[in-house]
Structure 1
């Protein structure tokens, strides 16, 4: 497999291309959000103010994801999250109470359809799944303490 090395970290050519496409899409979304926010500046209507705050939150999330991708592509942070859990990956986990949940990995919550179970790859569960294999137990921080789950399946996205 063709690997490109930067700063001691390796990305396959396919992964690098995918991340560069994702980065270009995020930059376009960032510009679009910025334009919308600029167009409603100065409007004092409460609904417009609420919309502006929501858009500003979206803009901040997109900007953070752009920074993460730039760092991965530059070799400044490990690419494991991007390599192991790309957006669209479907994961099934079994929790200690016996319940099983199947979720789709997304880079940012805005990518998720409203009706589906999703997790972001930077969430505690998303980070715990990096490098995990079916049959392995993972542990991650939950709102009420440590959560243990078994990985049932990890299915990469179909392109």
Structure 2
């Protein structure tokens, strides 16, 4: 099974989160459940139910991380700086096309399958692109494309 397309930095961050959740995280939740059990009747024990709910969410995240970091494809992401038709260059927006687990300061991460992501994929600086957005056709100008 192949994992997700991730940048090296995102992979390292997700591996660290996975390690933290499977060690410290599981120990902390187990301790919370044990303390709540000691309070008695489990049917009406809000602390116990909250701890079990937390455990369920954490285990779900662990499974998600396992998928993402299992044999990932390491990619070099691109940061696209664009401006919408009719806007001035100082109103530029910054987007990175990639996995939603990516984090880029000062930029929004969008999916390659989104209308804007699909339109930007492979574009070059200076290029004008018209794409179909949910509210109608929009035209953008690519100001720059930078490696992230």
Contact 1:135 / 1:152 at 8 angstroms: preserved in 2? yes
CA distance in 2, matches of 1:141, 1:64: 32
Which structure is larger by alpha-carbon Rg, 1 or 2? Answer: 2
Equivalent of residue 66 in structure 1, options 64, 69, 72: 69
Contact 1:33 1:59 in 2 (8 A): no
Contact 2:10 2:103 in 1 (8 A): no
Match of 2:45 in 1: none
Runs of at least 5 residues in structure 1 that lack an aligned partner in the other structure? 1-17, 74-81
CA contact (8 A) 2:10 2:101 kept: no
How many Å separate the matches in 2 of 1:147 and 1:44? 49
Q: What is the match of residue 44 of structure 2?
A: none
Of the three residues 89, 93, 106, the one matched with 2:82 is: 93
Query: 2:125·2:142 contact (CA, 8 Å) conserved in 1?
Result: yes
TM-score normalized with structure 1 length? 0.48
Structure 2 spans left out of the alignment, 5+ residues: 1-5, 34-47
CA RMSD of aligned residues (A): 4.2
User: What is the TM-score normalised by the length of structure 2?
Assistant: 0.51
The equivalent of 2:49 in structure 1 is: 44
Secondary structure, counterpart of 2:69 in structure 1: helix
| Alignment of 1:144 onto 2:135 | yes
Aligned residue pair count: 122
